[in-house]
Structure 1
Amino acid sequence: MYEVFNVGKTILLDGKPLSLVTPAGVEGWIERGIPHSYRYDQVRDPLDGQMKYRCLYEKDGADVPFVLVSDPDGGDGRVILFDQKPDAQPLHL
């Protein structure tokens, strides 16, 4: 499992920064044909202490991975956590 820290406004994964992306941001990549990939890792939910999955994206040309977060205008802007590892990309759930 990876070690995650929240340092001010930066989320660190194994000491390296993560960027944030919303589902709408990923849809924008798709619309513009920007190559990207995604994967899931397990983290402990800070609210209930249970192990859950989060989605990490890597975009061509970006130095750091992106973690999927909810839209702050329509939600709380937190990292989206899944109880079970989704079979499909999170945008199509």
Structure 2
Amino acid sequence: FHAMDTLQRNGYDLARAMATLVPQGGPVLCRDEMEEWSASEAMLFEEALEKYGKDFNDIRQDFLPWKSLASIVQFYYMWKTT
């Protein structure tokens, strides 16, 4: 409904409506978790995954203690799709 409302508020001018959705100064680009990890950290993760499966607490404790649990889980879901 937000998109339809935005379009209506901008007189059904699609370009103008889309421009209202982009913040001042251009779009905000997000880095994903894959970009935050080095190749050696990714290799450690894969080794840990082979050893522990999806036990992310053990992976963190024994292989990647400098990474947060959230970071490891996010990396797993990005890694899984590649």
TM-score, with structure 1 as normaliser: 0.22
Bigger Rg, structure 1 or 2 = 2
TM-score, with structure 2 as normaliser: 0.23
Higher relative contact order (CA 8 A, sep 6+): 1
**Which is strand-richer, 1 or 2?**
1
**Which is helix-richer, 1 or 2?**
2
